[in-house]
Structure 1
């Protein structure tokens, strides 16, 4: 048996060993050069995240990497930092290509590259659909270091833009690879792989390891190192999740009640269709709430404007389809509301991953109607836990019913008006969403003056 003195000594030794082990790794410990460590500090990144700790040292050794990590885990910096360090050692144009599934994600990755590479003069170009091909060709002619692109538009340029090729490319990154393949970009990806050098480094980042991703891995990676941060589908610990069970006809009333109850927070509300996204935004606006829609049928400039307004906190409610459920890093989302339950359970993980990012806390509330029970049970099965019920007082909620019904009626007429305008403007904007974000107020004024014209609904 140990005497008191010996026991204390042993405890001291244990504590010392423990402290050494638990000592957080710094950016320098990962092997990054001073200028990049400084860039991380300026961005207020105190220490590397799990995926960064695991993948950056491997990538700096010049190996191919497969990174599997949950959303919001810092994947972008995990591939951006090794690429920038390698670019510093061998500066050249068209150095790296990053393929992403959505336009918004491409712009976001570009922002992060520019922030990290500001002091070393890195030039980036974003090549995505919904923008003018000619102005993009001019940007490409300036030969940026880093290209961030969606597969379809990049292929358009490779096939049609004179003098543009990627024969000297050193790095290829596929971010959200599972989603690139799910969105049927397989043909485009195959064609791109054929025209870029085989002698290159490849990073494949994905939230899930699907059969398609495995197939892609075999096709384009050489002896890759697999870095897996989270093996099962899970949501971050600081996220408070709950569900609310309501009749489908009162969904709008309950939504308005929750938004009022939690006023002062910023919200992301997920809907299943572009139409419902716009309808919900109009209903909320008519009630004086600052809501902005974001969906796939909006032009690229409108989508970026909506995101900018929300990021700048000029609007506190962003209503979106799944176009914004993955990859987008909007730091200040306090509450995620699944207004329409996701059909694919995995999308639930990505949606709620918009809040409680980078160690902050957040809330997620899922609306479950009589038609959603089975889908909701699948979500609970996937995340391996039963969620608590979000408590509401029915009497308090139903006080709002009359006001919400009036707002729904106005929104319906506004939608009808927009549909008619869209029909008249066949040769105009292909997206037909010029009035999506601001046109509603004009319609409201007309309604109040009683000058609303009838018309057949398209």
Structure 2
């Protein structure tokens, strides 16, 4: 449908249209084609679309179209769940407003000097893109005026609610001086989202990208069965095999991210880590290197990778298979963008992960093809062929080669022959490392690794879920909404059974200390929440956390005595599922 519609048919201003066409876009994406006309009419809109579908432009174009450039006050407010997404959206707005010189936009978020933001707001900003906490801060300081706001956008509304921002969002909406146009964009239409829309929207138009349009037909999805210890060796071979230039590698834990990054660097690859332990300044530097291509491999956790929007990523590696089907979609959606093709490569170990892969296939309604690891001979042949193709391409392009011919003539004059010179150059290009590679049995035999996986699954009382608590990079969004029906950064899913007091059987042999936590089943706390919170905040490995007994209003959890003081220090007054908790030592247990 959208292939027949052009941006020029949508009634947007010539200045915005010029910027859109300069960015290389002619036809709107499905969500853009459906949402932009309603937004241009001033209607409230609920848009359901996932990352990579063009939703930022879907609301930015009509918002820019409605701006009065002669009014220097804020007219459009966009709320985002993370700093990274706020920066990304603001960058997109700047591109689209390139030919609107009087229109200014500004990202505001925590971790950035507030004085700098205040000065920019005083100069006059028509579009503010910010995180809820920092927006409220500016409103309370009187540095962000709400008088002229005519539209408010909640981008990734489900993420904001999952992160516990509902009160902040409602506070912001309640401070509006008039009845602004409200726009909610979300990957899901969970109950909390619909509750907000009923309260703050008037007869909203619902635009939805259906599953068929969310498919990833331009992404080649494959998987390899491989031993844990050989994942990195296989990944580096595949990078060479497919001649990948810009890659994202996803791990499920911060520790995994650091280990993979360090090993890649030791092998001469340009890699950087991105996870929740980095400061905002460090994250900005890492992303700048990745966007400019100074670093071509970004190793990240799912939480830290929110907001990454780089069009020319040509490969995504699921180094660890994601624990949630939606995470898989978010991950692979970062390649194959803007009409390009991309590769999504997953590594699996053992039967449980094989079943998990089948669940992902069913969810995405796509086939993930099994591949055999490349042999050394295949790698060498491919490198040789790539060199031949590169030489042929260079010859076909022509150009001045006089200076290079002079070098060859000088070498011949010194007594070297053409064949020796050419062979030496090829050896330099292909590299000696390929010749030194060994053929390795990568494949994980059926059942291998099962004992470890079963041990982890039993610890959570649910078969096949794995050790989800191990130093998970939880971030604030581990506070999942019940309406979502799943817990992505926690230790499990909503169908995890309550066995009596919702206990989690301990198989740890360390001397343990029992801790009291003042939240329980009445707060919808489950074992995975406890494991995820403690592991994510303290760095204590999830497989060292012992028995968990959850009652109506409180919980007991066993942790190693050696770690009790650290857990008490970090977790007391911290949050679990959005609730501030008191944690106290109860007693020592065997």
Q: TM-score, normalised by structure 2?
A: 0.61
Is the 1:281–1:293 contact (alpha carbons within 8 Å) kept by the matching residues of 2?
Answer: yes
Is the 1:234–1:349 contact (alpha carbons within 8 Å) kept by the matching residues of 2?
Answer: no
1:399 to 438, 449, 462: 438
Is the 1:257–1:400 contact (alpha carbons within 8 Å) kept by the matching residues of 2?
Answer: no
The structure number with the bigger radius of gyration is 2
Is the 2:84–2:306 contact (alpha carbons within 8 Å) kept by the matching residues of 1?
Answer: no
Is the 2:248–2:313 contact (alpha carbons within 8 Å) kept by the matching residues of 1?
Answer: yes
Structure 1 gap ranges (5+): 1-20, 402-430, 432-456
- Name the CA distance, whole Å, in 2 between partners of 1:42 and 1:188: 37
Alignment partner, residue 234 of structure 2:
254
Alignment partner, residue 366 of structure 1:
346
- Name the CA distance, whole Å, in 1 between partners of 2:357 and 2:279: 33
Task: Report the Cα offset of residue 395 of structure 1.
Answer: 7.1
Q: How well do the aligned residues superpose, as a CA RMSD in angstroms?
A: 2.5
Alignment partner, residue 94 of structure 1:
74
- Name the CA distance, whole Å, in 2 between partners of 1:114 and 1:363: 30
What do residues 376-408 of structure 1 show as CA deviations (whole Å, max 9, x unaligned)? 23212211234111221477798388xxxxxxx
CA distance change for structure 1 residues 394 and 41 in 2, over 3 Å: closer, same or farther? closer
The alignment partner of 1:164 has SS state of coil
- Name the CA distance, whole Å, in 1 between partners of 2:43 and 2:99: 26
Task: Report the Cα offset of residue 191 of structure 1.
Answer: 1.8
What do residues 45-82 of structure 1 show as CA deviations (whole Å, max 9, x unaligned)? 12222111111111111101111123212111111111
Single out whichever of 231-240 and 30-39 deviates more from structure 2. Answer: 231-240
Is the 2:237–2:374 contact (alpha carbons within 8 Å) kept by the matching residues of 1?
Answer: no
- In the TM superposition, 1:196-211 aligns within 5 A as 196-211=176-191
1:226 to 181, 206, 209: 206
CA distance change for structure 1 residues 187 and 375 in 2, over 3 Å: closer, same or farther? farther
Alignment partner, residue 377 of structure 1:
358
Task: Report the Cα offset of residue 125 of structure 1.
Answer: 1.3
Alignment partner, residue 93 of structure 2:
113
CA distance change for structure 1 residues 393 and 113 in 2, over 3 Å: closer, same or farther? closer
Alignment partner, residue 440 of structure 1:
none
Alignment partner, residue 308 of structure 1:
288
- In the TM superposition, 1:180-191 aligns within 5 A as 180-191=160-171
Alignment partner, residue 314 of structure 2:
334
The alignment partner of 2:99 has SS state of helix
The alignment partner of 1:139 has SS state of helix
What do residues 287-308 of structure 1 show as CA deviations (whole Å, max 9, x unaligned)? 1000111222212222122111
The alignment partner of 2:15 has SS state of helix
Task: Report the Cα offset of residue 361 of structure 1.
Answer: 0.8
Alignment partner, residue 148 of structure 1:
129
Is the 1:72–1:327 contact (alpha carbons within 8 Å) kept by the matching residues of 2?
Answer: no
What do residues 221-278 of structure 1 show as CA deviations (whole Å, max 9, x unaligned)? 1110011122469432111101111222322222222223233421110111223212
The alignment partner of 1:135 has SS state of helix
- Name the CA distance, whole Å, in 1 between partners of 2:74 and 2:2: 40
- Name the CA distance, whole Å, in 2 between partners of 1:87 and 1:37: 15
Is the 1:233–1:383 contact (alpha carbons within 8 Å) kept by the matching residues of 2?
Answer: no
Is the 2:49–2:208 contact (alpha carbons within 8 Å) kept by the matching residues of 1?
Answer: yes
Structure 2 gap ranges (5+): 380-436, 441-536, 538-562, 567-590
Aligned pair 1:65/2:104, yes or no? Answer: no
1:47 to 23, 27, 39: 27
Name which structure has the greater RCO, CA cutoff 8 Å, separation 6+: 1
Is the 1:114–1:124 contact (alpha carbons within 8 Å) kept by the matching residues of 2?
Answer: yes
2:254 to 259, 265, 274: 274
Alignment partner, residue 12 of structure 1:
none
The alignment partner of 1:193 has SS state of helix
The alignment partner of 1:378 has SS state of helix
Is the 1:246–1:368 contact (alpha carbons within 8 Å) kept by the matching residues of 2?
Answer: yes
- Name the CA distance, whole Å, in 1 between partners of 2:297 and 2:275: 14
- Name the CA distance, whole Å, in 2 between partners of 1:368 and 1:232: 27
CA distance change for structure 1 residues 28 and 384 in 2, over 3 Å: closer, same or farther? closer
The alignment partner of 2:42 has SS state of coil
Alignment partner, residue 369 of structure 2:
388
Is the 1:326–1:351 contact (alpha carbons within 8 Å) kept by the matching residues of 2?
Answer: no
Is the 1:102–1:323 contact (alpha carbons within 8 Å) kept by the matching residues of 2?
Answer: no
Is the 1:167–1:195 contact (alpha carbons within 8 Å) kept by the matching residues of 2?
Answer: no
- Name the CA distance, whole Å, in 2 between partners of 1:199 and 1:341: 45
Alignment partner, residue 64 of structure 2:
84
Alignment partner, residue 293 of structure 1:
273
Q: How many residue pairs were aligned?
A: 383
Alignment partner, residue 428 of structure 1:
none
- Name the CA distance, whole Å, in 1 between partners of 2:2 and 2:144: 49
Single out whichever of 49-58 and 24-33 deviates more from structure 2. Answer: 24-33
What do residues 183-220 of structure 1 show as CA deviations (whole Å, max 9, x unaligned)? 22222212222212351001111122222222222222
